[in-house]
Amino acid sequence: MKERVVVAMSGGVDSSVACALLKEQGYEVIGITICFNLVDSIRKKPICCGLQGIEDARRVAHKLGIKHYVLNMQKILEERVIKDFLREYLRGKTPNPCIRCNQYIKFDALLKRALSLGAKYLATGHYARIEKIQNPKSKIQSYLLKKAKDPKKDQSYFLYRLTQKQMKHTIFPLGDYSKDQVRRLAREFCLPVADKLDSQEICFIPDMNYRGFIKTRIKMNIEPGPIVDRQGNILGKHKGIPFYTIGQREGLGIATGYPLYVTKIDSKNNRIIVGKKEEATKKDFLVKNLHFILGPIKKKVALGVKIRYNHQEMPAWVIPFAKRIKVRFKNPQFAITPGQSAVFYKKDTVMGGGIIDKAID
């Protein structure tokens, strides 16, 4: 009997090539496309779970001769991702909904569905790797989450909340490939999506219009308030706490003769604090809602730390601090943003991470 694997098919190049590779390797492949009740609008770039994605996934499944199903997960998206997204923005935080989607939708709800279908594994098109290790004394097997071979495409940052149980039943077929290699494979397999553009948008926000989405979804009034400097001097007026993020420069509407950046968001007093770039550059910050892949860090350790997906990993001390972690960068970093995830690395291995609570002056 062939081992059965369910592939999360977005209709994009990556998940389509993942399907083709697994079938070539001898697995019984079943494709499932997650969909949500999203507004079918014209977008500049494709999204992972729109109507076009469903149709493209069907065409790929037909080409490969595999079964394909569509699974609506709107309820989980609303409860676990969108509500948190809106709640955090109202608090002056900047959340990463893709991390929560992976945590609660792909590797929880979808993985459970895959196992209920008799599959041994769930596979996705993420660029990351899972490595099995075994303790020579206890013979207990554990799993490591590792960066992809291609550093430009590595997506391990989005996956740091994976558990041992989830990794036991997860495959990342693209972890050893570059994006160029995946494109070539798509053409060699004659996949109908070989030249499709990559999806880069958050699926529930049309064309990345955060302000418009927040306005339509939040029923309460979003109150304007003062923009102040570090000394409390009023420099201007903001349009509402949810519309700003740490490090933001555009849209402040203040003329000072030099650039100003958002350095702090005071949601309690409905104030935006601005300053020069160096005032938005910090060394120390606290991390909460921690998750570690092989158990918690118990003492001060030197690790690489990323404070957002497109942030270059930088050396830092990671220090246990009550029920949180204190991070001290070797060199100050710009725009350490509450609500974003900080992910800890030891060389190419993800140790864990958590949610940035606050930067420390």
Can you give the pLDDT at residue 198? 84
Give the chain's residues under pLDDT 70.
38-49, 137-138, 200-201
Quick one: pLDDT at residue 45?
55
Query: Do 281-360 and 4-208 fall under one CATH topology?
Result: no
101 carries an active-site annotation: yes
Strand partners, 226: 237
Strands of the sheet containing 121-123, edge to edge, are 67-72, 28-35, 4-8, 121-123, 170-171
The structural domains of the chain, with segments of one domain joined by +, span 4-208, 222-275, 281-360
DSSP 222-244: ---EEEE-TT--EEEEES-GGG-
Exactly one of 19, 35, 48, 101 is catalytic; which is it? 101
Q: Are 291 and 340 in contact (CB under 8 A)?
A: no
Half-sphere exposure at residue 176, Cβ-oriented, CA atoms within 13 angstroms? 5
> Would you state the structure tokens that stand for residue 208, as one six-digit string?
């990345």
3-state DSSP percent of the chain in helix, strand and coil, to 5: 30, 30, 40
CA 47 vs CA 12, 128, 179, 192: distances in Å? 9, 21, 18, 17
pLDDT for position 48: 64
Nearest to 197 by CA among 342, 350, 307, 44: 44
222-275 CATH choice from 2.40.30.10, 2.30.30.280, 1.10.357.10, 2.130.10.10: 2.30.30.280
For the question of residue 203 being annotated catalytic, the response is: yes
Strand, coil or helix: 207: helix
Q: How many H-runs (helices) and E-runs (strands) does the chain carry?
A: 9, 17
The CATH code of domain 4-208 reads: 3.40.50.620
CA dihedral 172, 178, 183, 187 (to 10 degrees): -80
Residue bearing tokens 């008799």: 118
What is the value of pTM for the model shown? 0.93
* Assigned CATH topology for domain 281-360: Elongation Factor Tu (Ef-tu); domain 3 (2.40.30)
pLDDT of residue 42: 46
- Three-state DSSP at 44 gives coil
Q: What is the pLDDT of residue 158?
A: 98
How many Cβ atoms sit within 10 Å of the Cβ of residue 178?
A: 16
